[in-house]
Structure 1
Amino acid sequence: MFKKLFLFVVLLSLLAVGGMVFWAKQPVITVGEPMPFTILPGSGLDSVVQQIASAGVPVNPELLGLLVRLTGKSGKLKAGSYEIKPGTTPLRLITQLVRGEFAQESLTVIEGWTFRQMRQAVAAQTALKHDTATLTDAELMAKITTDYTLPEGLFAPDTYLFAKGSSDLQVYKQAHALLLKRLNAAWENRDSTLPYKTPYEALIMASIVEKETGRKAERTNIAGVFINRLRIGMLLQTDPTVIYGMGDQYKGSIRRRDLTTDTPYNTYTRPGLPPTPISLPGDESLHAAMNPAKTDALYFVAKGDGSSHFSSNLSEHNQAVNKYQR
């Protein structure tokens, strides 16, 4: 009798183990959209499985808790925001929690944006924790670096991934670090004959090139024109710097008096480069600024199709203006 009872208990145990193994390998959800859930900091195992179930994830919290204990992962679960995708099994779910595979959100910073536009995009990203919302630009920069106080141009256009609930400061730090990495790499591979004293001056040029043309193939030629002007002491006379200097006064067009109204960014009234970048330049513009085309051109004019006509003298330039813009 005792032997039969023992065998019965063993059989039940095997069935239970087999059932647990089978359950642990079955998808929690099979179709539909990923289901989000959040584990709060300081949560114990019982609280973790209840938070998952309360978020609507169709998983048995008692069985999930037992599986966590059986796998020895009870003290290794990480707090954060997650999502469970169709096909995820309880075993895979536990792996997500142990590894901290948080739900990924993204923010895209566009080439040619100003830093003001970047701040607006960050502020509009609801998945971020907005720790910097009340900070001035100078206060924000002080939390990122001691090397610069003015932010324009110092953040790389790119798509940034982050866990839901991350601080917006981390995105700014990541974008600034990526910009410095790209800038320093481009500086190391620059044409050594260029009239830049510092990488920052090259960054200013790259920001101007970024705003002057959307055509990648023309960026080195645009940079070549401006380098030629710098070398001979000719005014850069580039409209994007004027527009930047106008700030909120710019309403979509430049008038003649705007070109003669002096600001630190008016390259029609002031020689050399403006005091800071005027946009967030991308890789192509950084490359163009560091390796401009070898050209004798001193002028260019938009042809109306997105491309430009380049001229080496004023007479030819005036003819091109008459042809393409008048």
Structure 2
Amino acid sequence: MIFRSFVLALTAAAAMAPSVHAQAQPAWPTRPITLVVPQAAGGTNDIVGRLVAQKLGEVLGTSAVVDNRPGAGGNIGTQLVAKGPKDGYTLLMTISSTQAINPSLYKNPGFDPIKDFKPVALVGSVPNVLLVNPAFPAKNLSELITLAKAKDAAYQYASAGNGTLNHLLGEMLNSMAGIRLQHVPYKGVAPAMNDVMGGQLPIVFASLPSALSQIKAGKLRALAVSGEKRSPALPDVPAIGELVPGYNGTLWIGLFAPADVSADVLAKLQDGMRKALASPELRQKLEAQGVEIAPPTSPEQFEKLMQDDLAKWGRIVKTSGASVD
């Protein structure tokens, strides 16, 4: 009887052991999550990051906050996440211009976009817009190309800085349309747009979310969007690809985790983002900013997109001769 009672006690203890062990492992997440945005507040990535952070926090049962770490074209914030904690509480909300262009633009950007990160979710894409001052004589892209080909001195176009996406969009248009627009770099897209609105320069490329209010107010005229197709936010504005076949300069926005994050935490993040992006409320808010929500995309598909963009923009950077170092 004593032996039987001892065996039963051992059996009960063994059955309880897994649950005791499981209780000792706290569920993830147990504290707030930080989405590092390697661009300044008020830009496209910041706008999208704050909307995504709010919904992701709700889905995961915690809070998620945005931490803006601008500098070096996005390299500073990206390095911070690559070299930071691998526990899933510090993530990178970034854009293709930083993740896919900077490795070609900088001799040492301080991170490897493939080796240092794991894709969590592709959020969506945002076209840039080719904008002109309302007094500029060209009313559409065809007229701009005609004027640019006829003019001896090149028209100037503003960008957010040397090597930025809106700089390279102009270089790609020069190459593919056979024109010569002269690049003038600024320290950010806001001052670039301000000078075009003020008449100091005639042309600027800017992301749709950052320019939409000025377009609607009539302060800037949109000639074309930079994708292969029109944007639902500007259905009457043609795509550059309609006139210049093959032209496509759409910006994507995505969430990444450090490469060494545990598989369990990564899976929870990926599932959380799937649920967040399925939210009609979040989708409506993003679409109102000109973001085209990505179709369901696996992490493998997202990584393939990034590898393709690394090759594409690497060729454009080489052709343009752009360099920050």
TM-score (norm 1): 0.31
TM-score (norm 2): 0.31
Higher strand share: 2
